[in-house]
């Protein structure tokens, strides 16, 4: 109808002209012109049967690789050295990991980089605390806790006493100048922190191709500022150097510092050096930054500067930002004492709460099996609760909702998957084991079968939407609807008690649904279990 308007033609007549030229008889029954100029297509059941049969035989799972794969860098997680990873890191970590998984599945070359905060002013205070107040025994037993303690101690002291702040600055200058003692301490801090990072990433099933921290780019910062000055982008501003955006209305009131008045660099300088390094060494078609929404201005400035600095670079630069996690009181999610929730403690609690549910539902399971299922359910529940909302919205953290076995939750989807496996197991016990041979043939005779098949065919389209709009919630909702379609099919269409040909067809439908659920959950970074 919009085309007819632009051509100044009658929309029904234009629809009729299009219909006369369509060749879709292999896909659709009769196509009809309806209403003011709609075209109604009715998918042929034979085509649906063919697509599901191909999937049941292992030919595909309703998606194909991108014909023109791209090289894409995904920058996510980015914790700080000497600080505990907290609940705020969960969003960047699981969202970035999900985007990495879906882009790889679709055939793109993905490079993941964890831009760790391992350089900057906080290390001056940490060095003062390390040299004057370090408890070695506590460092051995709880390194992150001890480093956090000495930082808080010195930070408070520096606010009260200028001499302490001055000492911190001097230690930082020595570190940046390459002082052997300070470098050795700094490297120990990084090594101890990396153990914490690795432990949490292992629990979350997250991996990185690179972990190039801020310190990696330290030697590249002065050349960046020099190039910006030489090109006329960076100008003097009260002793500092800044880039102004007089021709960009939304940034005009927000110039970006690239060098402080004391000669030090800042986040913008480091991110420009990082961006330049990635372009030169990895030749990406796209770079995705996954951070919270508070950094929107920073990335608008960063991208604007880089486009002026290197106008010849055509790589797409994307800031994938997200909202905050709130407590049930509507305020930022914290512990009862008002402290930031540590990520490892959050995951511990998720597993313990899931264990209580598993023990209640399956009291006869052995302890090891209970704990393994609880691990899968608990961590999956935390991830899914984070990925389900529109990423740009804040969401309320609720243990009861995320661990529920009903509703749009990870446990519900994990249970739906185990049901598909349970049906196939029962068939084997009854003497009719399921095998996806080349003789498999799916027939779709009832409305619930047709509805389930149609929904399965949308799987690839949803994956492409997730990849193009960076929104995993599309996949979450698709999987929830898939589980609902399957439940309706199973309730209304006997499987194990059906006649042999019909039983084989419906077992194939169970298998394909289970595979789609498992693949979808894996893309979300969520494990499945054959039993729950």
Domains in the chain (CATH in brackets) are 2-42 (3.30.1360.70), 122-204 (no CATH)
d(CA 109, CA 255): 35
d(CA 39, CA 86): 52
Model pLDDT, residue 258: 96
Name the strand (E) or helix (H) holding 486: helix 473-492
Smallest CA-to-CA distance from 297 within 262, 326, 257 is with 257
The pairing of strands 38-40 and 32-34 is: antiparallel
Smallest CA-to-CA distance from 164 within 133, 185, 120 is with 133
Model pLDDT, residue 8: 93
Contacts of 241 (CB under 8 A, 6+ apart): 225, 228, 229, 234, 235, 257, 258, 259
Pair of tokens at residue 339: 């402290």
**pLDDT at residue 492 is higher than 90:** yes
Q: 259-263, 315-319, 383-387, 488-492: which range is least confident on average? A: 259-263
Confidence of residue 95 (pLDDT cuts 50, 70, 90): very high
Model pLDDT, residue 30: 85
Confidence of residue 394 (pLDDT cuts 50, 70, 90): very high
**pLDDT at residue 103 is higher than 90:** yes
* This prediction's pTM: 0.93
Cα within 13 Å of Cα(504), Cβ side = 13
Q: Please give the angle made by the CA atoms of 140, 141 and 146, to the nearest 5 degrees.
A: 80
Q: Count of CB atoms within 10 A of residue 220's CB?
A: 16
| DSSP 8-state code for residue 432 | -
Phi-psi label, residue 120: left if phi above 0, alpha if psi -120 to 50, beta otherwise: left
Cα within 13 Å of Cα(199), Cβ side = 14
If you search the block for the tokens 């030169």, which residue do you land on? 280
Model pLDDT, residue 54: 95
**pLDDT at residue 337 is higher than 80:** no
Average pLDDT, the chain: 95
Model pLDDT, residue 435: 82
Q: For 343-481, list the strands marked E by DSSP.
A: 395-396
Point out which residues pair with 334 in neighbouring strands. Answer: 340
Secondary structure of residue 406 in the 3-state scheme: coil
d(CA 163, CA 236): 30
Secondary structure of residue 464 in the 3-state scheme: helix
Secondary structure of residue 248 in the 3-state scheme: coil
Could you tell me if 475 and 520 are in contact, meaning their C-beta atoms sit under 8 angstroms apart? yes
Could you tell me if 373 and 358 are in contact, meaning their C-beta atoms sit under 8 angstroms apart? yes
Sign of dihedral through CA atoms 218, 112, 325, 296? positive
Q: Count of CB atoms within 10 A of residue 38's CB?
A: 12
Could you tell me if 253 and 284 are in contact, meaning their C-beta atoms sit under 8 angstroms apart? no
d(CA 379, CA 405): 14
Q: For 124-239, list the strands marked E by DSSP.
A: 234-237
List % helix, strand, coil for the chain (3-state, nearest 5).
60, 10, 30
d(CA 37, CA 405): 45
Mean pLDDT of the region 307-316 = 97
Pair of tokens at residue 282: 């990895």
**pLDDT at residue 336 is higher than 80:** no
């Amino acid at each position: 109808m919009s085309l007819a308007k632009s051509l100044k033609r009658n929309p029904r007549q234009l629809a009729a002209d299009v219909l006369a030229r369509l060749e879709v008889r292999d896909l659709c029954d009769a196509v009809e012109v309806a209403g003011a100029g709609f075209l109604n297509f009715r998918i042929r059941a034979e085509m649906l049967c063919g697509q599901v049969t191909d999937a049941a035989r292992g030919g595909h799972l309703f998606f194909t690789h991108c014909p023109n794969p791209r090289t894409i860098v995904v920058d996510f997680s980015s914790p700080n050295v000497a600080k505990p990873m907290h609940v705020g890191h969960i969003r960047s970590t699981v969202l970035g990991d999900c985007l990495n998984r879906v882009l790889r599945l679709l055939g793109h070359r993905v490079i993941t980089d964890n831009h760790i905060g391992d350089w900057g002013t906080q290390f001056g205070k940490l060095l003062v605390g390390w040299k004057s107040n370090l408890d070695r025994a506590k460092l051995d037993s709880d390194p992150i806790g001890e480093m956090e303690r000495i930082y808080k101690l010195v930070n408070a002291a520096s606010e009260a006493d200028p001499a302490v702040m001055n000492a911190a600055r001097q230690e930082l200058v020595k570190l940046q100048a390459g002082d052997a003692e300070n470098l050795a301490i700094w490297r120990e801090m990084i090594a101890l922190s990396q153990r914490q990072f690795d432990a949490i990433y292992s629990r979350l099933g997250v991996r990185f191709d690179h972990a190039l921290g801020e310190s990696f780019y330290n030697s590249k910062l002065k050349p960046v500022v020099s190039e910006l000055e030489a090109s006329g982008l960076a100008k003097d501003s009260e002793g500092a150097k800044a880039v102004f955006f007089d021709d960009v209305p939304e940034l005009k009131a927000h110039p970006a510092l690239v060098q402080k008045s004391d000669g030090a660099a800042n986040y913008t300088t480091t991110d420009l050096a990082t961006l330049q390094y990635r372009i030169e060494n990895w030749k990406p078609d796209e770079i995705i930054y996954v951070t919270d929404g508070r950094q929107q201005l920073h990335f608008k400035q960063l991208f604007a500067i880089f486009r002026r600095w290197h106008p010849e670079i055509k790589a797409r630069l994307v800031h994938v930002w997200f909202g905050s996690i709130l407590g049930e009181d509507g305020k930022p999610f914290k512990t009862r004492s008002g402290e930031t929730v540590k990520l490892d403690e959050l995951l511990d609690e998720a597993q313990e709460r899931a264990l209580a549910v598993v023990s209640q539902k399956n009291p006869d399971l052995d302890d090891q099996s209970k704990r393994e299922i609880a691990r899968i359910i608990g961590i999956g529940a935390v991830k899914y609760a984070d990925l389900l909302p529109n990423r740009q919205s804040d969401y309320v953290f609720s243990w009861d909702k995320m661990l529920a076995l009903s509703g749009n939750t990870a446990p519900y989807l994990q249970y739906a998957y185990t049901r598909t496996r349970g049906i196939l197991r029962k068939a084997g016990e009854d003497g009719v084991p399921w095998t996806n041979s080349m003789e498999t043939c799916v027939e779709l005779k009832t409305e619930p079968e047709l509805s389930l098949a149609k929904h399965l065919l949308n799987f690839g389209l949803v994956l492409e939407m997730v990849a193009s709009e960076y929104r995993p919630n599309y996949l979450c909702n698709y999987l929830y609807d898939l589980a609902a379609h399957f439940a309706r099919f199973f309730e209304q269409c006997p499987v194990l008690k059906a006649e042999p040909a019909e039983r084989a067809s419906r077992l194939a439908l169970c298998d394909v649904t289970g595979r789609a659920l498992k693949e979808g959950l894996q893309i979300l970074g969520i494990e499945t279990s054959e039993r729950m």
